[in-house]
Amino acid sequence: MTKLTLRLEKILSHILPCGVLADIGTDHTKIPVAAVERGLCQFALATDKSTAAVRSATEYIKSRELTDRVRVLQGDALNPIADETVNCLVIAGMGGILISEMLNNGLRGLLEYRSRRNPFNITSAGRQLNGLGQIILLPHRDVSLARDTLLRHGLTNISDDLFTDKGKAYHILDCEVR
């Protein structure tokens, strides 16, 4: 099992069981890998704009023997998942301004387009593939801006989780998409 810091454990603790999770700005890929390993999602899309991050993510997923369940995509913000099925969206470890820009540019399409390409050819009726159901944000700063952006998209069911890890304060916004 992938060992996580308290901050990452907190993010994992918010994920509701789902079919496909997407982690934007995945870097070390610990979030999607742990989510799959713990059965929180069936499959995961791990995206990052950095070539170095994508390279190391690909190696890490290979080392965990998860290449059939975690796919690495390179690209900016929500662009790499624009046509994909996503049930849970995670954006963590970036500022609220950047997270808001990402949501403003890509969230509308993700919310509106329900019959999306199924990246893992999931056919089991038991798996939830009914579009985006949850958004988990961990902005390092400008949390209120990230929350306001969710609200402007009509997403009002947001719960807050405040905690500290190694003396640093963190704030998770956990949003149910209805």
Ligand X SMILES: C[S@@+](CC[C@H](N)C(=O)[O-])C[C@H]1O[C@@H](n2cnc3c(N)ncnc32)[C@H](O)[C@@H]1O
Interface positions with ligand X (CB under 6 A) = 24-27, 48-50, 53, 76-77, 92-94, 98
Least distance from C-beta 78 to ligand X, angstroms?
A: 8
In 8-157, where do the E strands start and end?
18-24, 41-48, 70-74, 88-94, 134-139
Q: Are 174 and 136 a contacting pair, CB within 8 Å?
A: yes
- Residue closest to 27 by CA, chosen among 5, 7, 6, 47: 47
Residue with tokens 């023997």: 65
Least distance from C-beta 113 to ligand X, angstroms?
A: 20
Least distance from C-beta 25 to ligand X, angstroms?
A: 3
Cβ nearer to ligand X, comparing 76 with 161:
76
Cβ nearer to ligand X, comparing 93 with 119:
93
Cβ nearer to ligand X, comparing 49 with 64:
49
Least distance from C-beta 111 to ligand X, angstroms?
A: 19
